[in-house]
Amino acid sequence: MAFEFEHSAKNPLHPVSYLKMLAMHSRLEIVWTGQQEISAQDLAQKIHESMLSMEREFNRFSEKSPLSVVNLKASREEVCIGEDLFMALELCEAFRRGTRGYFDVATSTSCGRDMVSYTLNPKSHSVRFTAAEVNLDLGGFAKGFALERLRTLFTEQGVERALMNFGSSSILALGSHPYGEWWAVGVDHTKQHGIVAHEVHLRDGAMSVSGRNYKGEYHIVNPHTGASVAGEDLILVEGRSALVCEVLSTALYAAPKSERGAILSQYEGYHAKQIACGECGSVEIHEIG
């Protein structure tokens, strides 16, 4: 996993750095300002290492990853896991409960509604599945988790302005654009490519978008039914944490309209919209909650 790095000091007021890399089957891009080239290069290296570490931990397609080992063995025995994966699974379970079960990293299982798919043992730092055929997929969680980790890394390095885009669907902003009061992010119209369906202004905040993927596939599954959710509209969530935004956008997309407001109301400071894109470029936006 390599990365592309560029640095420009053409604008001496705001030297700007750019990083692009593939991680967790997505593209991570970051633009940040205020660092000279050597410091920025050093930070880029740290980002790369951090993403490599997460990839090693959470990639279920790699046979050697701890997550793959858990998927392989945890239905039969307790599997000891590292700090990061343990914390991630703790958070995932908390979010499952906090979203009425519409966010669940163990969706491809035979577990019934409201059933706990795994238990965590803090003493032994281990995980054990509660049933056979449980399979954990952190794909809907890892981008937000990674962005929060990057927020910490950037803050430690003293970077005050950055925009991070993980897979187009998860965005995190530090500070604002150097020539504006926010970072402006356009949500792409689903039917008319290149048209902005809705513009989001991020300042020290995050957003996440859920819907059909770029191939048009309904890739989000309703954990309660195991069926793909055939929603045409986008769900956009804005708030402080990229992780919470990602979890909520997935959960709200999967949840029926009647339950969305109640789920969102449990997350103070988070706002969600349902964005309907028409064939002729029209857009209808409804606040959720």
Tokens of 279: 């064939």
Query: Any residues with CB less than 8 A from the CB of 257 and at least 6 apart, and which?
Result: none
Q: Is 31 in the site for other proteins (CB under 8 A)?
A: yes
Q: Considering only residues 212, 237, 242, 263, which one is a binding residue for other proteins as defined by CB under 8 A?
A: 212
CA-only gyration radius of the chain, Å: 19
Which span sits near other proteins by CB under 8 A: 50-58, 94-102, 118-126, 178-186? 178-186
Number of residues that bind other proteins (CB under 8 A): 48
Which span sits near other proteins by CB under 8 A: 8-16, 67-75, 84-92, 104-112? 8-16
Q: Is 69 in the site for other proteins (CB under 8 A)?
A: no
Which span sits near other proteins by CB under 8 A: 42-50, 95-103, 130-138, 179-187? 179-187
Q: Please give the residues from 214 up to 243 whose contact with other proteins meets the rule CB under 8 A.
A: 214, 219, 234
- Side-chain-side CA neighbours of 179 within 13 Å: the count stands at 5
Q: Is 51 in the site for other proteins (CB under 8 A)?
A: no
Q: For residue 240, what are the CA distances in angstroms to 35, 41, 193, 237?
A: 24, 27, 28, 10
Q: Is 61 in the site for other proteins (CB under 8 A)?
A: no
Q: Is 187 in the site for other proteins (CB under 8 A)?
A: yes
What's CA 98's distance to the chain center, in Å? 17
Through-space distance between the first and last CA atoms of the chain, rounded to whole angstroms: 41
Nearest to 220 by CA among 228, 18, 152: 228
Q: Considering only residues 52, 69, 80, 184, which one is a binding residue for other proteins as defined by CB under 8 A?
A: 184
| Continuous segment of H or E residues that includes residue 40 | helix 37-58
- Write the secondary structure of 79-137 as one string of H (helix), E (strand) and C (coil): EECCHHHHHHHHHHHHHHHHCCCCCCCCCCCCCCCCCCCEEEECCCCEEEECCCCCCCC
Q: Write phi, then psi, for 269 (nearest 5 degrees).
A: 90, 5
Q: Which is nearer to other proteins, 81 or 275 (CB)?
A: 275
Q: How far is the CB of 37 from other proteins (least distance, A)?
A: 13
Q: Considering only residues 112, 113, 122, 194, which one is a binding residue for other proteins as defined by CB under 8 A?
A: 194
**Residues of this chain that bind other proteins (CB under 8 A):** 6, 8, 10-14, 16, 18, 20, 26-27, 29-31, 33, 163, 165, 167-169, 171, 177-181, 184-188, 190, 193-196, 199-200, 207, 209-214, 219, 234
